[in-house]
A and B are shown apart, each in its own frame.
Chain A
């Protein structure tokens, strides 16, 4: 069955950096685009990044563009999110999610998330 396991979350000071990882199993990882989606405490979901199945293209909302980088290693079935210049408003649970098979892949299966706390 599909399994996504995030890791790398923790406490970081404003302006700091952190790299999240997402280990995938139970499906052909290299065939699917992948998302990162976050949820601030008590808030709704916010899309953070998407990468195509082959890593050729990455997409971001304006809120993280230039600060976050999504990447993947298909040989290791692993998705990454490099976060830099972190701000208080980046404090959230970060989920990785498998993209659907469609021309605009929506998140379909989600991992359990990893908490990123931005605080001095």
Chain B
């Protein structure tokens, strides 16, 4: 059972917009700690996609965006492309566990 809760799967057609939620508590997301999102393509290592809730590292397309509200965060992907098919993981720090914590991951399928 992961500390951060993500839907196991989402799907969308090419060109569409999808969102992935990440629900936490008052000791992690709700406490104001930064939320990160990672993309993990099949059989590869995770890659940082969003940091500090809404910032994109150099080279990440602006089709990817992050937001936060209360104890939840969201990753939005617009103009969906076949190469976006991957697992997406959210991450935050938890002050009650004194640990960096992850969501269980969400598998994005491009129809």
Contact = CB atoms under 8 A, between A and B. Distances in A.
A95 B47 CA distance: 12
Nearest to A59: B98
Interface stretch (A12-20, A42-50, A70-78): A42-50
A106 B91 contact: yes
A51 to B, nearest CB: 13
B45 A45 contact: no
Interface of A: 35, 37, 43-47, 50, 59, 61-62, 95, 100, 102, 104, 106-113
A106 B46 contact: no
B59 to A, nearest CB: 11
A44 B105 contact: yes
A37 B104 CA distance: 14
A34 to B, nearest CB: 12
B89 A108 contact: no
B100 A102 contact: no
B36 interface: yes
Interface residues of B, number: 24
Contact of B102 (A44, A62, A111, A113): A44
Contact of B47 (A50, A100, A110): A110
Contacts of A62: 97
A61 B97 contact: yes
B83 to A, nearest CB: 19
Given A100-B51, A104-B33, A108-B48, A47 B99 contact: yes
Contact of B91 (A43, A45, A50, A61): A45
Nearest to A97: B46
Contact of A106 (B2, B34, B45, B47): B34
B61 to A, nearest CB: 18
A104 to B, nearest CB: 5
B45 A110 contact: yes
Contacts of A95: 45-46
B89 to A, nearest CB: 5
Contacts of A107: 36, 38, 46, 48, 91, 100
Interface in B44-103: 44-48, 51, 57, 89, 91, 93, 97-103
